[in-house]
Amino acid sequence: MSSTSPRYTLYCAPNTYAMGVHAILEEIGADYRIEWVELFSDVPDPAFIAASPHGRVPALVGPDGAVFESGAIALYLAEKHPQANLLIEVGDSRRGHFLQWMHYLASTLQPDVTLQFHPEFYFEEEATKAALKQASLNRLQKVLQVIDEALEPGPWFFGDRLTVVDFCFAMQAVWPQIYPVSIRDYPHISNMVDRFIARPSARKVLIVHEETWAGAQGSCDGVNSDPA
Question: CA 91, 95, 101 angle in degrees (round to 5)?
Answer: 170
Is the pTM higher than 0.75?
yes
The residue ranges of every structural domain in the chain are: 8-85+201-217, 95-199
Number of Cβ atoms within 10 Å of the Cβ of 168:
27
Tell which CATH architecture fits domain 8-85+201-217.
3-Layer(aba) Sandwich (3.40)
pLDDT mean over 21-30: 98
Q: What is the pLDDT of residues 159-192, one digit of tens each?
A: 999 999 999 999 999 999 999 999 999 999 999 9
SS3 state at 43: coil
Beta strands in the chain (DSSP E): 8-12, 32-36, 59-62, 65-68
Average pLDDT of span 205-228? 72
d(CA 16, CA 70): 11
Task: With a cut of 50, say whether residue 2 has pLDDT above it.
Answer: no
Does the 95-199 domain belong in CATH 1.20.120.1200?
Answer: no
pLDDT value at position 6?
83
Over the stretch 53-100, which tens digit does the pLDDT of each residue have?
999 999 999 999 999 999 999 999 999 999 999 999 999 999 999 999
* pLDDT band, very low/low/confident/very high, at 34 (cuts 50, 70, 90): very high
Cβ distance 98 to 75 under 8 Å? no
